[in-house]
Amino acid sequence: MDVKIEQSWKALLADEFEKDYFKSLVAFLREEKKAYTIYPPGPLIFNAFDKCPFDKVKVVIIGQDPYHGQGQAHGLCFSVNDGIKHPPSLVNIFKEIQQDIGTPIPESGNLERWAKQGVLLLNATLTVRANCAGSHQNKGWEIFTDEVIRIVSEKKEHIVFLLWGAYAQKKGQIIDRNKHLVLTASHPSPFSASGFFGCRHFSKTNQYLRSHHITPIEW
């Protein structure tokens, strides 16, 4: 199956694209598109990979679902397109960055600038039906993104994994803690952000990268 995804990832994930679960997932998405609006738009489904080739990955942030509102999702977890109001979780992420390292809260919620520096902004599920949260869960995406995490854990070293909330932490159980730094905190959602604020994951990430002679992230 010819999947349009950045070449380094395409080579690493080629076997997944031929598996039955992935073929079933593609068939499901084709049927969904006939009846519903799907986010993000087709060309942006693999945007996290396109903006952050495998050899560039330094940090992995694991989200759950794409945003399901119009114009929000563009294939990077927690990120929204330029000009879109910051969703509550992203507001809290920016607040923590400001408290942690002093970076002012930006006008745009577009996190492409992180991706281009080596932050893989990976949702567990890469698509969603408009205005219907969780609608594409358990259709195969989770198997695919588990494999992505396994490949990064196995084939790279000194990666920082940021796991916010119980869902991401469970998904990150396959990460090799002997080779990588795994930081956990509550989800930045307003429902749990009291356990997110003060985690200082952004300064801790950069401290770890510097200690391994890796260029830190400009958050």
Token pair listed for 59: 């940090």
* C-alpha span between 151 and 146 (Å, rounded): 9
Say which of 65, 82, 100, 146 is annotated catalytic.
Answer: 65
50 is catalytic: no
How many CB atoms neighbour CB 170 within 10 A? Answer: 12
Q: Which active-site residues does the annotation give? A: 65
